Amino acid sequence: MPIQSFLNRFKYLWEGELHIKLRRIRWMAFPGVFLLATLHRLFVRYVAHPLPGIWQPLAEILIYSITGSLVAWFGLSWIANAANRRAETEHQLQAAFEKLELRHQQLLRLNSIGEQIAAADTQHTILELATRAPLQLTKALASTVVSFDQSKRLNLDMAWGLSDQYLGALRQRIDGGIDTERCRTCSALHAHADGDCPLFDGLQTFARDDGITSLVCMPIALEKERTSIITAYYPEADTPTEEHIRLLNILSAVIVGALENLQFRDRHYSELNEDTTAAFTSKAIADLSSQVLNIAMSGWDVQAGGVFTFDEDTQSWICQAQRGLGDLLDDAHFVLGTEMAQRAFDAALPVFETNRKDGSVFLSVAAAPLLAEGKVFGALFLGSLQSYALNPNHTELLAAIAYQISLAIRNTQLSDQLRQMAVLKERHRLSREFHDGLAQTLGFLNLQAEQVEQMINADQTSSASDEIQELRKNIHAAYADVREAIDGLRIRLDAPGQLAERLQQYTDEFARQTGIEIHFSTNPQDLTTKPEYAIQLLRIVQESLTNIRKHAQANRASVALQATKSQIELVIADDGKGFPATGPGERLYRSYGLTMMRERAESIGGNFTVATSPGQGTRITVTVPIHN
């Protein structure tokens, strides 16, 4: 060890723990050193001095050399050991600090992702964040979200970071059928590519090409039932670590909590929709009740009648239509009608009074229950001015008429509810679309206009001119959004066979207006499908191309439509930048377009998959089963 290095090391030790230790033992060291010096002097005196002449100084030099070297060796060894112990302690402390710092950063990322997931207001946003999270928290190469549908089949909802080859093979594997019960009850949740995991079966070659050697599954369970699985793929057999698995488990709990909160909000929204729908439905039922009551009274040749429905919430009768029962609720004729309706409701059979003697204007009355799905929900009342005009001999005929009225009212109620729910859902989609696009653009334009005004007031004409140019670009983009929304509202499909033709027209017009090259293909050319399928698929293409224009920075895109005997498959792909690799703490762009596309696909019983990663473009796949 060089002298200067040794001195520096000694100085470092002296200023550190060595200085502290020496201060503690300095009063103990002084007597020891004094005793050793005394013994050394006596040893020299009694060994060297007796020697004659020239040998005496030589003996003293030899003794001093040996004892001095030994003392120096022991002293330097003690200092070197202390230095080594200090260096080792420092290394251990540094490693522990780095580990704590890494864990702290992971927890910060997890907290940031958790806040984003908790603030998400759509299932699609939660799934997107959940798919990205394993790559941000651990050393995962890719991840997917796989869900169980109502028939317990697996569906690939979203993929992040997988190659097109692996993704295509995985889709085929899932569509071909996987032992879903094994995935639903799997407790290992960690598998190697060469193992027997169903998600790796037949995909080992593609896994090796992608550098994948293992996977970890995070089950998502709602209401004690596993509904989906988030799968993270890893490049090394010893990953993920136990620390990574703990982070993923915490993430899984956060996702479950967010999905449960979203379900609660959706149920609350549905209840509000039901209340609004009921207001529209009541008018339709009243109109139909009036029509069928007129028909029944004319056919039976009676002078009064009424159609009543029973409200279970308030335990009261609601008169949907009436004739000849008076204008007031306490009118004797109206009271008689509700009493007869209650008797028919309780008996679930037609009831009659053929020859009334209580002074009532009606000499014969009858009431028949209105039944739907095996349950009584109302009653039909008829009153005649003649005795025996209504009698038990008419039981079967009256029951048949009441049954037909029940079916008509129930069908009107259901169709009106469906129609109103469709209107409300479409309004909800449109509101989110305008909020996501036009509203944000107009707000940004307002800020730009204020900046231009400030620049003009400050005589910054050059900067104001540049800002005006940018303002014009944004106004043009807002105009494009409005034009696309109007074109979308004008879409009509009067015949199912128009789907391929309208898609071709729409993609050609979109390419002409935007300059993005669009390749459209369909097989077969004369594709025929249900109108509700066609309109939703066309809407999905419209929203996908709008997202490509606004966000993808793509030069080319493709729309492929293919139908088999069992399903229709729609694929929209682009060569754009893909979804950005948003880091924790960064703002996630919340596009409601993807959420609306998923809702449209699910409304016709289809599956919706998004596959993307930064720089690899985006691929949207919609598969709709065909039920013959």
If asked whether residues 105 and 142 sit together in one domain, one would say: no
Neighbours of 22 (CB within 10 A): 12
If asked whether residues 16 and 133 sit together in one domain, one would say: no
Q: Please indicate, yes or no, if residue 23 is contained in any of the structural domains.
A: yes
If asked whether residues 401 and 288 sit together in one domain, one would say: yes
Q: What is the DSSP string of 343-368?
A: HHHHHTS-EEE-S--SS-S-SEEEEE
- Which of 103-112, 255-264, 429-438 is least confident? 429-438
- Which of 32-41, 126-135, 519-528 is least confident? 32-41
List the strands of the sheet with 618-625, edge to edge: 190-192, 214-222, 225-234, 142-148, 154-160, 607-612, 618-625, 567-574, 556-563, 517-523
Tens of pLDDT, residues 172-195 = 888 777 777 788 788 778 888 888
Question: Does pLDDT of 490 surpass 70?
Answer: no
- Percentage of the residues of the chain whose pLDDT score is greater than 70: 70
If asked whether residues 108 and 132 sit together in one domain, one would say: no
Burial annotation 549-587 (CB, 10 A radius, 16+ → b, else e): bbbbebeebbbebebeeeebbbbbbbbbbbbeebebeee
Q: Between 471 and 542, name the one with better pLDDT.
A: 542
Average pLDDT along the chain: 76
Q: What is the DSSP string of 401-446?
A: HHHHHHHHHHHHHHHHHHHHHHHHHHHHHHHHHHIIIIIHHHHHHH
Q: Which of 218, 242, 264 delimits the end of a domain? A: 264
Q: What is the pLDDT of residue 171?
A: 84
Q: Which of 84, 113, 142 delimits the end of a domain? A: 113
Expressed as residue numbers, the domain containing 254 is 120-264
Tens of pLDDT, residues 314-344 = 888 888 888 888 877 788 888 889 999 999 9
Question: Does pLDDT of 559 surpass 90?
Answer: yes
Question: Does pLDDT of 522 surpass 70?
Answer: yes
Q: Please indicate, yes or no, if residue 221 is contained in any of the structural domains.
A: yes
Q: What is the 3-state secondary structure (H, E, C) of 140-162?
A: CCEEEEEEECCCCCEEEEEEECC
Confidence grade of residue 44 (pLDDT, cut at 50, 70, 90)? low
If asked whether residues 104 and 238 sit together in one domain, one would say: no
If asked whether residues 302 and 377 sit together in one domain, one would say: yes
CA separation (Å) from 533 to 361, 498, 593?
57, 12, 18
Q: Between 48 and 538, name the one with better pLDDT.
A: 538
Q: Please indicate, yes or no, if residue 494 is contained in any of the structural domains.
A: no
Q: Which of 79, 97, 113 delimits the end of a domain? A: 113
Kindly tell me the sign of the dihedral angle through the C-alpha atoms of 502, 503, 507, 513: positive
Q: What's the average model confidence in pLDDT over 122-148?
A: 84
Residues with Cβ within 8 Å of 360's Cβ and at least 6 positions away in sequence, in order, are 332, 333, 336
Q: What's the average model confidence in pLDDT over 518-526?
A: 87
Q: What's the average model confidence in pLDDT over 1-22?
A: 49
- 280: which 2 tokens? 């529209």
- Percentage of the residues of the chain whose pLDDT score is greater than 90: 7
CA separation (Å) from 344 to 4, 285, 339, 367, 524?
112, 20, 9, 6, 57
Residue type, 244: H
Question: Does pLDDT of 2 surpass 60?
Answer: no
Tens of pLDDT, residues 233-254 = 998 766 677 878 888 888 888 8
Environment class of residue 140 by beta-carbon count within 10 Å: exposed (0-12), middle (13-18) or buried (19+)?
buried
Q: Please indicate, yes or no, if residue 488 is contained in any of the structural domains.
A: no
Question: Does pLDDT of 271 surpass 80?
Answer: no
Q: Please indicate, yes or no, if residue 484 is contained in any of the structural domains.
A: no
Q: What is the spatial distance between Cα 527 and Cα 563, in angstroms, rounded to a whole number?
A: 7
Question: Does pLDDT of 277 surpass 50?
Answer: no
Q: Please indicate, yes or no, if residue 452 is contained in any of the structural domains.
A: no
Q: What's the average model confidence in pLDDT over 549-560?
A: 88
- 270: which 2 tokens? 């549905």
* Highest-confidence segment of 15-24, 461-470, 526-535, 539-548: 539-548
- Are 128 and 102 contacting, i.e. CB atoms less than 8 angstroms apart? no
If asked whether residues 169 and 69 sit together in one domain, one would say: no
If asked whether residues 607 and 516 sit together in one domain, one would say: yes
If asked whether residues 165 and 290 sit together in one domain, one would say: no
Q: Between 348 and 48, name the one with better pLDDT.
A: 348
Neighbours of 183 (CB within 10 A): 20
Q: What is the pLDDT of residue 368?
A: 92
Q: What is the spatial distance between Cα 285 and Cα 415, in angstroms, rounded to a whole number?
A: 11
Q: What's the average model confidence in pLDDT over 130-148?
A: 86
CA separation (Å) from 226 to 183, 220, 339?
9, 6, 51
Q: What is the total count of domains within the chain?
A: 4
Q: What's the average model confidence in pLDDT over 447-454?
A: 73
If asked whether residues 131 and 74 sit together in one domain, one would say: no
Q: What is the pLDDT of residue 352?
A: 92
Question: Does pLDDT of 440 surpass 60?
Answer: no
Q: What is the pLDDT of residue 274?
A: 47
Q: What is the pLDDT of residue 538?
A: 86
Identify the CATH number of the domain in which residue 611 sits. Answer: 3.30.565.10
For residue 235, give the 3-state DSSP assignment: coil
Q: What's the average model confidence in pLDDT over 28-37?
A: 56
Confidence grade of residue 290 (pLDDT, cut at 50, 70, 90)? confident
- Which of 16-30, 256-270, 385-399 is least confident? 16-30
Q: Please indicate, yes or no, if residue 424 is contained in any of the structural domains.
A: no
Q: What's the average model confidence in pLDDT over 357-378?
A: 84
Q: What is the pLDDT of residue 493?
A: 45
If asked whether residues 323 and 234 sit together in one domain, one would say: no
Q: pTM for this one? A: 0.54
- CA-wise closest residue to 406 among 378, 383, 366: 378
If asked whether residues 125 and 260 sit together in one domain, one would say: yes
Q: What is the pLDDT of residue 381?
A: 93
Residue in this structure with the two tokens 């090409």, named with its chain if needed: 209
Q: What is the pLDDT of residue 570?
A: 92
Q: What is the pLDDT of residue 416?
A: 61
Q: Please indicate, yes or no, if residue 124 is contained in any of the structural domains.
A: yes
Identify the CATH number of the domain in which residue 304 sits. Answer: 3.30.450.40
Q: Between 4 and 161, name the one with better pLDDT.
A: 161
